[in-house]
Amino acid sequence: MFKIALDKIDELFAALSGNETLYLPIEKSGEIEFYPYEKDAKVRLDALHTVKSAKDLFFPQTENLMNMKLDGKNIQIEEGRHVEDPFVLFGVRACDARSFDVLDKVFLADPVDSYYAARREHGVIVSMACSRPEETCFCNVFGIDATMPEGDVVVWLDTDHLYWEAKTEKGEALTKTVESVLTDSDSKAVEAQIAATKEIMDKLPLKDLDLTRFTEDEMMNIFNDSRWAEMSEHCLGCGTCTFVCPTCQCYDIRDYDTGHGVVRYRCWDSCMYRDFTRMAHGNPRKSQLERFRQRFMHKLVYFPENNDGMFSCVGCGRCLSKCPIHTNIAKVIKTMGVKEHE
Amino acid sequence: MQVNETNTVNTEEKEFTPLIVAFCCNWCSYAGADLAGSSRLSYPANVKIIRVPCSCRVNPLFILRAFQRGADGVILCGCHPGDCHYSTGNYYARRRMTLLFSMLDYLGIEKGRTRVEWVSAAEGAKFSATMNDFAATIHKLGPNRKLRDLRCEK
Amino acid sequence: MREINEMLKKKVSELLENGTADRIIGWQAGEFCYDVTPAVMRKDNLDELFYNGFCGANQSKYLIQESLEEGKVLALLKPCDTYSFNQLVKEHRVNREKVYALGIPCSGMLDVDKIKALGITGILSIEDNGEEIKVATMYGDKTCKRTEVLQERCKVCKGKEHKAYDELLIPDEDAPEVPNGEDRFELVNKLEAMTSQERFDFWRGELSKCIRCNACRNVCPACSCRTCVFDNDNSGVAAKSNADDFEENMFHIIRAFHVAGRCTDCGECSRVCPQHIPLHLLNRKFIKDIDEFYGEFQAGEDDTAKGPLTAYTEGDCEPSIVMEKGGEA
């Protein structure tokens, strides 16, 4: 294990961003997102969450797939992707780190999404342990250990030091490039922090959410539950929950007419939008109730059914704090977790 | 995210010919443009006229989309207030455009890039003078950088 | 607040009992003290109804759908909600006959994001004691000043007078005091005084955060189109993301423009924005311009007056007025 004093942390960032782009939580116009590091950037490692999750780096909100240019009677087709640049993603929390496993199940399954795969290959993940969870956190419900996140490198932050430990080969390689600014350290401080954080985690109000009912056997019972109606009744049909979610992976592919050609791009889609999955014959989910139900059935029932029990929620709590009307997955788990009329 | 070169005074500027979109109402301004043509009064070739049934037909999206597709300046011409073919259309257009232009200014877009002029069917000379003047203004402002869509750049 | 809560429950159950209305749109408690959800309730589950300092959501937009349904709905309107309600009635979007409007008092609503922005996290409970807000957290008890954590809109409160109602829970003059209204154009003025480049940079910084979730649009009581131009594939501008800076600008200019002259400045757009983009500053710019160019106008003040963009005078100023005013180029 290595460490570096926090007052020298800029040296670490400079070293990390020397050869490749370093993305980390940076505050701009009052909000924190993963932005490329630059000198004088307002780095906010203290923030629990970025607004958008870290999935944006592997599966960006919009990405060009190809450009078609008209030139007289000829059409030129150029590939629009930029996915081969190596980068370091620093400061990913345990929940977001788990979300990559969820996304891998979708994008790395056959047929492999080559855009996503290339970014996964070229990105090194430096995850950061939590020491100050919030009331909206419930990652433990999905078996995530916030004090020991997955990642190529894991870092822990205390009041004056950052502790660094490589976990994978990629992580070892990255460590070599920054070794000169790190010093050796024992793990006492980290162990103490982990113990302290675990005590806090035990006090989280949502730590006991019960997922036992969300199984294949109960699928139709949950699907037909009449309580979806009242839960979805006031859903605004906005895309906030899906766009801040680290595991939502639906996208749309669209063509934009530039006047002298076409740009084909893909962008995040939201199952909350009424044109979601609209086809030539119309839309199979016509009401907000059906769309609302789909989102949670997917995360809690269908996805685990198809992926060895892995839920496609990581308990980051973003939708809990961002939903304009505060209808969210925690409320759904609590309501649907018990049988109707019980 | 893109980096905007908002203050560029580059070498291209010498050859910069602004692209101007002029929305002209069918009843007055379009006829005014016709008269300018038949009276052999010149106006820049890079003014592209789009005929609309009334100045009131133009909604803010038209103006924005003209910029999106590469216009450097957008001008709306209609009948003089009081002379609208449909009696009052241009009065509504006037309010809308005033508010829109003010909003564009508020967002930091150069003020001179948008304009409204009233040109009657008899004012071929005014049409030509207006277009020449507007083209000169846009030329001075340089290419539209702040309200462009990079995907539409050639 | 507790008193008002009790009064409200009593009044509502009375109105449902005597058949004045057959259901109510109220608020339901959530997981935490602050995450209340709008909910339709009937006689049998009325005990879930409650009202506290986090019931800020403007529920008048729900009345569009509710007033299409069978029976009469009981709406709880805070003073500022009545402006949106009037506006929707004026535009024939809400059927006035199908709504029984109960005016409820409000002494300013709290914004939990502002509490969190003060560094108060791990919130377990919040006690609203008037001037001081006590917050119990997982990391100890904290306090903050009410004025620090009021919702943006409450800082420019329109007052405690209800502009539309069938009945008031408490007569307006006896209602608790509302926050002192600040000048709502203060920030607009500040922006206008900047240079054009500074304004451009400010808005680029703000609008580039937009994730195009459409929450601002979907929550807005004035955005009541059945199909929005940005959802209409035939419009040429439909999109689900901002694929270019231009689309960020376009979406927000058009959103604000479509509600210009109808926006009551209820502030819902800014409240729901996950990125805290000050969208109300776009709306207020239109309001300020309308006031200056065409005379003072408050949308939703009544349910009859013609809106400034559906009216004109022959002597209106020319668009070139923009060249003369505003910040420097």
User: Is C15 among the domain residues?
Assistant: yes
User: What does the mean pLDDT of chain C come to?
Assistant: 93
pLDDT of residue B5: 43
User: Is C179 among the domain residues?
Assistant: no
**CB < 8 Å from B in window 65-124 of A:** none
The Cα-based distances of C44 to A179, C13, C22 in angstroms read 67, 10, 11
Query: Do C101 and C117 have their domain in common?
Result: no
Question: Per-residue confidence at C329, pLDDT binned at 50, 70, 90?
Answer: low
Cβ-based contacts of C201 with chain B (< 8 Å): 108
User: Is A177 among the domain residues?
Assistant: yes
Q: Are C50 and C101 in contact (CB under 8 A)?
A: no
Parent domain of C300: 186-324
Question: Per-residue confidence at C327, pLDDT binned at 50, 70, 90?
Answer: low
pLDDT above 70 as % of chain B: 91
ipTM value for the complex? 0.94
User: Is A33 among the domain residues?
Assistant: yes
The answer to whether the CB atoms of C285 and B103 lie below 8 A apart is yes
Q: Is the pLDDT of residue A28 over 90?
A: yes
- pLDDT single digits (tens) C52-64: 999 999 999 999 9
The answer to whether the CB atoms of C218 and A327 lie below 8 A apart is no
pLDDT above 70 as % of chain C: 99
Domains of chain B and any CATH numbers: 17-143 (3.40.50)
pLDDT of residue C128: 85
Q: Is the pLDDT of residue C8 over 70?
A: yes
pLDDT of residue A80: 78
The Cα-based distances of A8 to A4, A14, A36, A153, A162 in angstroms read 7, 10, 19, 19, 10
Query: Do A229 and A125 have their domain in common?
Result: no
Query: Do C23 and C165 have their domain in common?
Result: yes
Q: Are B22 and B54 in contact (CB under 8 A)?
A: no
Q: Is the pLDDT of residue B9 over 60?
A: no
Average pLDDT over residues B18-41: 96
Closest CA of chain B from A60, distance in Å: 12
Q: Does A321 touch chain C (CB under 8 A)?
A: yes
CA–CA gap between residue B138 and residue A291 (Å, rounded): 49
- pLDDT single digits (tens) A132-153: 999 999 999 999 999 999 999 9
Q: Is the pLDDT of residue A258 over 50?
A: yes
User: Is C294 among the domain residues?
Assistant: yes
Q: Is the pLDDT of residue B8 over 50?
A: no
The answer to whether the CB atoms of B99 and C257 lie below 8 A apart is yes
Q: Does A263 touch chain B (CB under 8 A)?
A: yes
User: Is C180 among the domain residues?
Assistant: no
The answer to whether the CB atoms of C312 and B115 lie below 8 A apart is no
Q: Is the pLDDT of residue B4 over 50?
A: no
Pick from A38, A46, A4, A6: which is nearest to A21 by CA? A38
pLDDT of residue C50: 87
Query: Do C139 and C222 have their domain in common?
Result: no
Query: Do A54 and A157 have their domain in common?
Result: yes
Q: How many domains does chain C have?
A: 3
Least confident stretch, A70-74, A304-308, B135-139? A70-74
What is the separation of C-alpha A277 from the centre of its chain, rounded to a whole number of angstroms? 23
User: Is A341 among the domain residues?
Assistant: no
Q: Does C123 touch chain A (CB under 8 A)?
A: yes
Highest mean pLDDT among A304-318, C127-141, C227-241: A304-318
CA–CA gap between residue C78 and residue C165 (Å, rounded): 10
**Residue B91: what residue type?**
Y
The answer to whether the CB atoms of A324 and C138 lie below 8 A apart is no
Query: Do C101 and C53 have their domain in common?
Result: yes
Contacts of A197 (CB under 8 A, 6+ apart): A129, A130, A131, A133, A146, A147
Q: Is the pLDDT of residue B12 over 60?
A: no
Query: Do C120 and C14 have their domain in common?
Result: no
For residue B75, the chain C residue with the least C-alpha distance is C319
Question: Which chains have 3 or more CB–CB distances shorter than 8 Å to chain B?
Answer: A, C
pTM: 0.94
User: Is A208 among the domain residues?
Assistant: no
Query: Do C86 and C131 have their domain in common?
Result: no
- pLDDT single digits (tens) C199-230: 999 999 999 999 999 999 999 999 999 999 99
Residue found under tokens 């009081």: B82
Q: Which of A31, A135, A322 lies closest to C138 in CB terms? A: A135
Q: How many domains does chain A have?
A: 2
User: Is A209 among the domain residues?
Assistant: no
pLDDT of residue A342: 60
- pLDDT single digits (tens) C251-284: 999 999 999 999 999 999 999 999 999 999 999 9
- pLDDT single digits (tens) B104-117: 999 999 999 999 99
Parent domain of A255: 219-336
- pLDDT single digits (tens) C108-157: 999 999 999 999 999 999 998 888 999 999 999 999 999 999 999 999 99
The answer to whether the CB atoms of B151 and A258 lie below 8 A apart is yes
Q: Which of C32, C233, C272 lies closest to A135 in CB terms? A: C32
Query: Do A189 and A231 have their domain in common?
Result: no
Question: What are B22's two structure tokens?
Answer: 């002029």
Question: What are A322's two structure tokens?
Answer: 């961002």
Query: Do A62 and A192 have their domain in common?
Result: yes
Query: Do C216 and C266 have their domain in common?
Result: yes
Query: Do C170 and C34 have their domain in common?
Result: yes
Query: Do C140 and C8 have their domain in common?
Result: no
Query: Do A167 and A53 have their domain in common?
Result: yes
Cβ-based contacts of A233 with chain C (< 8 Å): 39-40
Query: Do C226 and C274 have their domain in common?
Result: yes
